[in-house]
Amino acid sequence: MTPTTPATATTVDGTTLPAALRLAGVTLRLGSGAQQVTALDRVDLTVARGEFLALTGPSGSGKSSLLAVAGGLQSPSEGTVHVAGTDLTTLTEGQRTAHRRNHIGYVFQHANLLASLTAREQLLVAAHIAGRLDGSARQRADELLDAVGMTARADRRPHQLSGGERQRVGLARALLLAPEILLVDEPTSALDRARSRDIVDLIARQTRAQNTATVMVTHDTEILDAADRVRNLRDGRLT
Ligand SMILES: Nc1ncnc2c1ncn2[C@@H]1O[C@H](COP(=O)(O)OP(=O)(O)OP(=O)(O)O)[C@@H](O)[C@H]1O
């Protein structure tokens, strides 16, 4: 039997919003034989539109696995994953890729930037591919580059940027496309305290302004207050 979680989620202020992301009974086994690991163990999780969820947990507890499953990059061994009303586990690979592109934004620790493009071009090309490159997208791109502190380096290519700077460009690129669901892995790991605060506040603002369902994995306890809700993973189980 497939466990069920509600199709709506109640936010901290008590309002009920449609669930943008819904994991029900999700188990993920990785590896095989004696090496097999249960990376996620019967995880139930619902995130509403406009809600900012922080996900914490020790190394190896399954945080990246949860983001990969939520983002349709990895299929669960058991359970269902609803993204914007569609169960990803019922889609073909091609359908899943299209659904991902239309609804999900990722910011991974190693931002997948295109080597030949400047920071500003990374944003503009993403908007162009999405069919949304107009004057307001150009203006918003510059605003976002400013918000992540990258205006002075907007004309540099990835190899001329630090890891943290590359990740900030990746964040600005994801925010420009204003996805329904935003999955962010350790956005402040390479940043000092003031910059971390700027970045997490930017994510919180965007979550509210664009009605995004945001899941942020973090080890940084200083930024948890920016989230609406904090969940902890331990040995693949949500606590
Ligand atoms: N391809 C794989 N094959 C087998 N086991 C794996 C594989 N990838 C991850 N694991 C294991 O799955 C578990 C969860 O890993 P995951 O990367 O999701 O944890 P995490 O909480 O994101 O860790 P960290 O904070 O160190 O990034 C760990 O025990 C890890 O060793």
Task: State if residue 29 touches ligand 1 by the CB under 6 angstroms criterion.
Answer: no
For 8-238, the fitting CATH number among 3.40.50.300, 3.90.1300.10, 3.30.1360.10, 3.40.640.10 is 3.40.50.300
Quote the tokens at residue 59: 């190394």
Task: State if residue 39 touches ligand 1 by the CB under 6 angstroms criterion.
Answer: yes
> Do residues 63 and 217 make contact, with C-beta atoms less than 8 angstroms apart?
yes
Give the separation between CA 92 and CA 51, rounded to whole angstroms: 29
Gap from CA of 61 to ligand 1 centroid (Å): 7
> Do residues 87 and 80 make contact, with C-beta atoms less than 8 angstroms apart?
yes
Would you list the domain boundaries of the chain? 8-238
Looking at residue 101, its amino acid is R
Chunk the chain into consecutive blocks of 10 residues (it has 239) and report each block's average pLDDT, rounded to whole numbers. 49 60 96 93 96 96 96 94 91 90 87 92 94 91 94 97 91 93 90 87 92 94 94 96
Identify the pLDDT of residue 74. 93
Give the separation between CA 162 and CA 50, rounded to whole angstroms: 31
Task: State if residue 60 touches ligand 1 by the CB under 6 angstroms criterion.
Answer: yes
Identify the pLDDT of residue 1. 40
pTM: 0.89
- ipTM beyond cut 0.85: yes
Cα torsion 18, 87, 4, 204: sign: negative
Identify the pLDDT of residue 7. 58
Identify the pLDDT of residue 2. 41
Gap from CA of 220 to ligand 1 centroid (Å): 19
Task: State if residue 130 touches ligand 1 by the CB under 6 angstroms criterion.
Answer: no
Q: Whose CA is nearest to atom 26 of ligand 1?
A: 59
Residue partners of 19: CB distance under 8 A and separation at least 6: 5, 6, 7, 8, 9, 46, 47, 48, 82, 213
Identify the pLDDT of residue 213. 96
